Amino acid sequence: MGDPLGSEASQLVLELIISRKCGISFGLLLKPSSSSERSLLSPLDRAAIGALAGAFAGGLTYVALLPLDAVKTRLQTLPSSSASASSAVAAASSILRSHGPLGFYRGLSAVLLGSAASSALYFATCELAKSLLHTLTLTLNPFFVPPLAGALGNVVSSAVMVPKELLTQRMQAGAGAHRRTLDLALHILREDGVFGLYAGYAATLLRNLPAGILSYSSFEYLKAFALRLTKKPHLEPAHSVACGALAGAISASLTTPLDVVKTRLMTQPQGEGSRKVFETMRQIVLEEGWAGLGRGIGPRVLHSACFAAIGYCAFETARLAILQWYIQQREKAMVKSAA
């Protein structure tokens, strides 16, 4: 089949080998928007690198911030009259009294496996979409590439994200006698079938699409701005953290009402699965006022800012490390071929 990267890419690899022997840094190759990287990597290569880096970043970030997510879920599911729903501190104290410190990590196995898989799908789709959409720059304004890539990534990753969040949030809300995530999953499958794991799917998409577009696009725009200011080929870790935190805070603050509706749908009692998104939203407004749609906004914004800061920093770091390893393997292959 020949060289999968093509003759132009092979020439680039040879030039990189010469550059390294001459003491020239090839750090510019790591710049996401550089022409050399786009030439060296096929869209599938970018997707594979994105999947590996995304799996690492997703698993690390979701597990690290699970306690904040548990507090947010407790705030959104308890009645507004409950003392435990009065503040984030009260909700955290309630979790400690009910389940101890390990209560903040209920649903851990679903989070670890589900987040790694969904993040791998998300970033793989985003990287693939960006690579393919960049080829349409003659007919598509580059400004619209990040929003479209973020939207596609969320649509694909929600197939894994929804069951993961449903299991995690039911465990956090106190899913009866189920002590293990696997037991809860089997119970849902017996009672409601496969579709039972996708309760709140429409609400999740309704939330994730705008949230994904806002978060991913904000990060990409802030990243481009930071690279332009620093004149460096890639983001430093501190810059990744700052850009990610700001992008996550913007996205979370604007999409909290959708997250409240999604959480209510996922944690509703058995037998109420037919309730629709707008019906749930209407019920929340009638019972709690418009403020009810902002329940948990503090922990959610804090969680999303921390999540995006850690997640994007981990993703960028892992992506650059994998990319550098890939280049080194290509160099070794070219040296053997030349010998």
Distance CA 120, CA 56 (A): 8
Q: Which two tokens stand for residue 317?
A: 């770091």
SS3 101: helix
Q: Which fold has domain 43-77+89-332?
A: Mitochondrial carrier fold (1.50.40)
Distance CA 295, CA 75 (A): 7
Other CB atoms closer than 10 Å to residue 6's CB: what's the count?
13
Buried-exposed string 298-324: b where 16+ CB fall within 10 A, e elsewhere: ebbbbbbbbbbbbbbbbbbbbbbebbe
What is the predicted pLDDT for the residue at 71? 82
What is the predicted pLDDT for the residue at 338? 83
Q: Show the beta-strand stretches assigned E in the chain.
A: none
Q: Which two tokens stand for residue 242?
A: 């700052």
What is the predicted pLDDT for the residue at 8? 40
Token pair 């670890």: residue: 112
Residue 235 near residue 316, CB atoms below 8 Å: yes
Listed by start position, the domains of the chain span: 43-77+89-332
SS3 42: coil
DSSP labels, 56-69: HHHHHHHHHTHHHH
Token pair 């009692």: residue: 269
CA distances from 337 to 3, 100, 186, 332 (A): 11, 60, 53, 9
User: What are the φ/ψ torsions at residue 193 (nearest 5 degrees)?
Assistant: 75, -170
CA distances from 117 to 103, 164, 165, 201 (A): 24, 10, 13, 17
What is the predicted pLDDT for the residue at 37? 56
Residue 266 near residue 166, CB atoms below 8 Å: yes
The gap from C-alpha 333 to its chain's centroid, in whole angstroms, comes to: 34
Q: pLDDT under 70 in the chain at which residues?
A: 1-40, 77-86, 137-138, 172-179, 207, 268-275
Q: Give tens-digit pLDDT for 161-190.
A: 788 778 877 776 665 555 677 788 888 888
In 174-236, alpha helices (H): 181-192, 201-230
Token pair 């050399």: residue: 36
Distance CA 248, CA 309 (A): 7
pTM of the predicted model over 0.75: no
CA distances from 332 to 3, 14, 16, 29, 323 (A): 14, 10, 11, 17, 14
